[in-house]
Amino acid sequence: MADTDFDVIVIGAGPGGYVAAIRAAQLGLKTACVESRETLGGTCLNVGCIPSKALLHASELFEEANHGTLAKWGVKVGHVELDLEAMHGGRREAVKGLTGGVEFLFKKNKVTWLKGHARFTAKDSIDVAGTAYRAKNFVIATGSSVTPLPGVEIDQERIVDSTGALELPQVPKRLVVIGGGVIGLELGSVWRRLGAEVVVVEFLDQILPGMDGEIRKEANKIFRKQGFEIRTSTKVTGAERKGDGVILTVEPAAGGAAETIEADVVLVSIGRRPNTEGLDLDKAGVAINKRGQIEVDHEFRTGVEGVYAIGDVTPGPMLAHKAEDEGIAVAEILAGQIGIVNHEVIPSVVYTYPEIAAVGRSEEEAKADGFEVKVGKFPMLANSRAKTNRDTDGFVKVVADARTDRVLGVHIIASVAGTMIAQAAQAMEFGATSEDIAYTCHAHPTHSEAIKEAAMAVSGKPIHI
């Protein structure tokens, strides 16, 4: 085999691509991974999951000290000061450590990193920086980028996308977030905790589309209580830079009189779109759908022999762990093994305070899918650990099939919902009924006991309420 020939070439080194490449190499396939960024790890490690969580963590610590949460527990810190540059340093360090870690894993597993932008020249060959490479199989894992908003030009200074919002050199006095989805609420939380007034402008009549209705309402209430100004059913029609600020023009989503909102910084976070531009997919014969995504079957085949696709570039939730699991499965399929991802059980977490987590169907989705449902709910206010820690906002909701008692979905809004959701995902993967969860012994005192109690509430028998 020539140096430029491989069993598998993965295009893109995000959580989907780098994991696929490592797994393929572990399974004995000669593997290369093309990445045009300076560092490995894709959106998630460089400008997504990791840096945002670093700032969420740091800003939470600041708020705890600054707003007296620590003092309420007898931890007096005196004058609290923000060193934003040190906070950014912590973020950069987290990114450097993890992206460097992927580079180490590539070396350890003998994955060749092809540096540059890949373009197909045929279904079995690509060009990277002027060199032709061939492979028996290609995995497209090119991820996604920010969806632009016409009339609101991103300059990464005053009008930023999520990447710019992670790097603001100063805390804005007034931040206007366009889009009340995951990014808007997470990064809005960071800057609100550090002192910004935050206004969220959402096109729909409720924030967090796709989540369970009751969770969305509760989140709306909690975020408003925290000081977010949330303007739903509102659309942004234009933005104009004026001095050191921006004037946004908004109007009711249904149409009506326009008005203006002033901001120091505007964050555009209205969703992400798949990266397929510049790949010359037509040379490989791979088609994209109306939303620009590459459609695949349950074995990640694109319809062109030897060309597969995974992660954000394909339909489904744009989540790092979904991409990773698809990366493992596609590599196992390429090595002649069975690779499966259960797309019915993909948890999602919004890392605000409190966290919001879900797995499976919302109550609305379950009903729309024709299920007769039974619902059990348990408030964190009645959970002993949450009461002790004084983090009682939120509740757990279990949605079960009324006929079989099988759990169809679990929805949590609670300080540590992201950690709690793992057991719900595992239970659903094992086909659990609400009774299975209710009769599983949960350690006391833990927030997770609220899941047990919500499961007990499905059949009307919670203890602590």
Which residues of this protein are in contact with ligand NAD, per CB under 6 A?
149, 178-184, 186, 201-204, 209, 235-236, 269-272, 317-319, 348-351
Query: Given the complex with ligand FAD, which of 323 and 398 has the nearer CB atom?
Result: 323
Q: Which of residues 96-125 bind ligand FAD (CB under 6 A)?
A: 117-118
Backbone angles phi, psi at 11, to 5 degrees: -105, 110
Query: Given the complex with ligand FAD, which of 310 and 432 has the nearer CB atom?
Result: 310
User: Given the rule CB under 6 A, which of 9-17, 99-107, 256-264, 426-434 is the region that contacts ligand FAD?
Assistant: 9-17
From the list 48, 339, 347, 394, which residue makes contact with ligand FAD (rule: CB under 6 A)? 48
* Residue 55 near which of ligand NAD, ligand FAD, none (CB within 5-8 Å, type-dependent): none
Q: Rounded to 5, what percent of the chain is helix, strand, coil?
A: 35, 25, 40
What token pair was written down for 32? 């290369």
Round to whole Å and give the CA distance between 242 and 368.
47
Round to whole Å and give the CA distance between 344 and 238.
39
Looking at 48-147, list the stretches that DSSP marks H as alpha helix, in order from N- to C-terminal side: 49-66, 69-72, 84-109
The reply to whether omega before 379 is within 30° of 0 (cis) is no
Sequence-separated contacts (24+) of 365-372 with Cβ below 8 Å: 365/409, 366/399, 366/401, 366/408, 366/409, 371/401, 371/402, 371/408, 372/401, 372/402, 372/403
Residue 74: CB minimum distance to ligand FAD, A: 33
The yes or no reply on residue 323 touching ligand FAD (CB under 6 A) is: yes
Residue 134: CB minimum distance to ligand FAD, A: 16
* Residue 13 near which of ligand FAD, ligand NAD, none (CB within 5-8 Å, type-dependent): ligand FAD
User: Given the rule CB under 6 A, which of 8-16, 22-30, 368-376, 377-385 is the region that contacts ligand FAD?
Assistant: 8-16
From the list 134, 321, 367, 442, which residue makes contact with ligand FAD (rule: CB under 6 A)? 321
DSSP string, 252-268: ETT----EEEEESEEEE
Q: In the bound complex, which residue of the shown chain has the CB atom lying closest to ligand FAD?
A: 143
Candidate list 67, 343, 444, 464, residue with the active-site label: 444
Round to whole Å and give the CA distance between 144 and 329.
20
Using an 8 Å Cβ cutoff, are 103 and 89 in contact?
no
The yes or no reply on residue 183 touching ligand FAD (CB under 6 A) is: yes
From the list 21, 25, 111, 318, which residue makes contact with ligand FAD (rule: CB under 6 A)? 318
Using an 8 Å Cβ cutoff, are 344 and 338 in contact?
no
Query: Given the complex with ligand NAD, which of 182 and 341 has the nearer CB atom?
Result: 182
* Residue 270 near which of ligand FAD, ligand NAD, none (CB within 5-8 Å, type-dependent): ligand NAD
User: Given the rule CB under 6 A, which of 32-40, 197-205, 244-252, 353-361 is the region that contacts ligand FAD?
Assistant: 32-40
Query: Given the complex with ligand FAD, which of 21 and 454 has the nearer CB atom?
Result: 21
* Residue 363 near which of ligand FAD, ligand NAD, none (CB within 5-8 Å, type-dependent): none
Q: Give the interface size with ligand FAD as a residue count (CB under 6 A).
A: 36
Query: Given the complex with ligand NAD, which of 58 and 319 has the nearer CB atom?
Result: 319
Query: Given the complex with ligand FAD, which of 300 and 395 has the nearer CB atom?
Result: 300
DSSP one-letter code for 80: -
Q: Label residue 72 exposed, middle or buried (CB < 10 Å: 0-12, 13-18, 19+).
A: exposed
DSSP one-letter code for 311: G
- 405-420 in b/e form (b: 16+ CB < 10 A) is bebbbbbbbbbbbbbb
The yes or no reply on residue 12 touching ligand FAD (CB under 6 A) is: yes
From the list 7, 8, 9, 42, which residue makes contact with ligand FAD (rule: CB under 6 A)? 42
Binding mask 234-273 for ligand FAD (x = CB under 6 A): ----------------------------------------
* Residue 201 near which of ligand NAD, ligand FAD, none (CB within 5-8 Å, type-dependent): ligand NAD
Using an 8 Å Cβ cutoff, are 359 and 345 in contact?
yes
Round to whole Å and give the CA distance between 146 and 318.
12
Using an 8 Å Cβ cutoff, are 316 and 322 in contact?
yes
Query: Given the complex with ligand NAD, which of 146 and 456 has the nearer CB atom?
Result: 146
* Residue 203 near which of ligand FAD, ligand NAD, none (CB within 5-8 Å, type-dependent): ligand NAD
Using an 8 Å Cβ cutoff, are 416 and 389 in contact?
no
Round to whole Å and give the CA distance between 248 and 114.
43
From the list 175, 196, 320, 373, which residue makes contact with ligand FAD (rule: CB under 6 A)? 320
What token pair was written down for 408? 């169809």
Query: Given the complex with ligand FAD, which of 353 and 378 has the nearer CB atom?
Result: 353
What token pair was written down for 101? 């870690």
User: Is position 444 annotated as part of the catalytic site?
Assistant: yes
Look up tokens 């989705």; give the residue.
365
The yes or no reply on residue 13 touching ligand FAD (CB under 6 A) is: yes
Q: Which residues are catalytic?
A: 444
Binding site for ligand FAD (CB under 6 A): 11-17, 34-37, 42-44, 48-49, 52, 117-118, 141-144, 162, 183, 275, 278-279, 311-312, 318-321, 323, 351
